[in-house]
Structures are given as C-alpha cells and as structure tokens.
Amino acid sequence: MTLLRQPTILQDPVSFDHEGKAGYPSRSIGTILADLADDDPRIMAGSADLTWSTFLADFAERHPDRFVQAGIAERNMLGIAAGLASCGALPYVSTFSAFASLQSLDVIRNDAAYTNLPVRIIGTHTGVSMGYFGSSHHAIEDIGALRSIPNLTVLSPADHTATEALVRATVDASGPVYLRLGRGASGPDVYESQGEVVFGEAATVRRGSGVLVVATGITVHAARDAADALRAAHIAEPTVVDVHTIRPFPAEQIAALAAAHEVVVVVEDHMVDGGLGTSVITALSEHGVAVPVHRHGLRDFAIFGPPTHLYRYYGLDAAGIAVVVERAAQHPSAGPRVPLWGEADMRRELEAQQEADRVRKPEVVFE
C-alpha cells in the first residue's frame, strides 16, 4: 500500500529547528509543573542550559526561587536533584534525552535509583527527533538502558494530554522517574481527556483485529493514522495500543491482547534491540503466548537529516507504518522475523525526498 503524502519542506520550522525557537506552546511541561508547584511547595525544577528548548521557562518565570540552572552540566544537575530530593524536595529536571539518559546513566543508577529518591528526570527530543544534530544527540538506546535499572519508573507519553496525566501521577509516586518526551512540546493529539491515560496500563487507541500494533511516545499518533488509513482502504483493521508506561511494563495486559490477534507489530523511535519490542517479546514468552512479533524501529545509528525526513526514511511516519502493518497482515506467521522495512524501502524514500528537494530548491537571483 502506498499512502499519498506531501514531501517534507526543508524550511519546515518544526523539523528544522528546536522546539521553542519557532514558537512557544500555550501550555507546556513547564506550565504543568508551575501549576502543580502553586499548591505543592516541594516541587522544584532544573535545567541544563536548555530552559527554553525543554519548555521549563514558564516554571522559571513563575517560581524563580525554586528553579535551578545547572548550565551545560547534566550529570551535575542530576546530582543536585538527588541532593534536593534527599532533603524533602520533589525535583523535576530536564535536558535532551540523549544527555539525560546515556550520558548520565551512572548518576541515575547510583544517586537516584540505588537510593530510591524521588528524582524526576524529563528527557526531551527523544529518538531521532534531533535529526541533523547527529548520533550524539539521538536518543535511540535510552529505553533499553533505563528499563533495566531497579526502582526506576520509565514513562513515554504520546501527546500533551498524556504528558499532563502522567506528570500528575508522578507527584506522589515512589522512587525516581524518567519521562521520555518526543520533541518536548505537544505533538498531534491522541487523547481527548487525561482520564484515558492510566499509569501502569496500556491504552487502546484503536480497536480492531488481526494485527496488534504496539507503540509508544511520538510513534503512537503515526500508528493511529496508519490504522485509520488501512481501515479506510479496506486493507486491514489493526488494533493500536499505546504503552506509555514502559516500566513497570504491563506484561499481562499486552500478552492478553497479543493472544487475541494473529501477529504483533511493535513501532518505536528507538533501537529494536532492548526497547519496547524486547519488552513485548519477553512478556509474550513469559505468558506462553505464541504470536509472531515484528519489531519496527532503528537497527543501527541513524543517518543525519531533518526529523521529518528521518521518520520517512525509517518508515516511522504513518505511511511507512501502514506499509509495515500491511506486510505483517499478509504474512502473519511467515518464517523468521525479518525486518518488514528494509534497505530498498529506505533507498526509495531517500531518492524520492532528494528529488522533491531538488525540484523545490528556490532559484537564486542576484541583483
């Protein structure tokens, strides 16, 4: 199946810039925390020189006496947060996910998780959403690294409504929490109310049959749109599930859902090894559910480029996910779990985008 889609415009401000510099949302993670801090004197916030890009500016303006600017020193910021938590504070500290997770792994493990302190780590711009900043800024291994740390809760909301619901759930949660937020600001809406998002439970976004699509974070809306397109084209009617609580993983729930379908497709803006797909496979194995699982995500370090280009290249937009789900539906129990989005698909998308960019390149006129 080929969905019609418009080529990405290179000058697209959402793709070619950090969130925040092209406009600030009316309600952000900083707004949510500032509202909570109005009634809870324990709540503090901190940034590693990214107050605007990670959307904490509203908190800093409204509660300057409870805001810590650590500078470009993410590990120090997390150490400060652990110290504050040990004194009774409830710190929410934020930076890009690549720096909040892998670069600071030992601090999370030793200062927050081992001591089981209520440190809240907000990692923004997950997966390949930092695009052209390259592998040093791509967070495609954070789920795999963090879900193995004892005491640590890992959350991955799909939109702003889910973000607010899960942030509110963390206020009284025990131990440290890692929040994995797409590009920082709210993406396309998935939920209408916070009541649809329950901590610890996967949320069914679309009900169907045959194929179960399991997604998390910024891939949920794309998986939903792919399911809608497949349904409209009378090709398949997949179920789409949002696993926003990655740890503790809702293993029994996912296993029961998988048992009611013929095949499972896991979609994640992350390496397929160690990520959401690995959790799904483990859950099915431990619950004795023999349903094929196809993992759709990254299999190597990502190439560089604007995020929207990368999502197309790796088949993580709605059109790409629709192709993968259709292929899974056509061959639900075929042989080994070979990738359903391969080199030929990526080469096709790259060539199509290069041609679109070449045609659209403005003519330079010298006066």
State the pLDDT confidence band at 359, using cuts at 50, 70 and 90: confident
CATH (residue range 199-355)? 3.40.50.920
Q: What is the pLDDT of residue 28?
A: 87
Q: What residue spans in the chain does CATH classification 3.40.50.970 cover?
A: 29-181
State the pLDDT confidence band at 17, using cuts at 50, 70 and 90: very low
Q: What residue spans in the chain does CATH classification 3.40.50.920 cover?
A: 199-355
State yes or no: pLDDT of 6 exceeds 90. no
State yes or no: pLDDT of 324 exceeds 70. yes
What gap in Å lies between CA 63 and CA 52, rounded to an integer? Answer: 15
Closest CA to 287 of 251, 250, 324: 251
What is the CATH topology of the domain spanning 29-181? Rossmann fold (3.40.50)
Cis bond before residue 248 (omega within 30° of 0)? yes
Average pLDDT, integer, range 272-295: 97
What gap in Å lies between CA 266 and CA 215, rounded to an integer? Answer: 6
Q: Count of residues for the chain?
A: 367
Closest CA to 319 of 217, 233, 199: 233
Q: What is the pLDDT of residue 11?
A: 44
Share of the chain above pLDDT 70, in %: 89
State the pLDDT confidence band at 9, using cuts at 50, 70 and 90: very low
What is the chain's mean pLDDT, rounded? 90
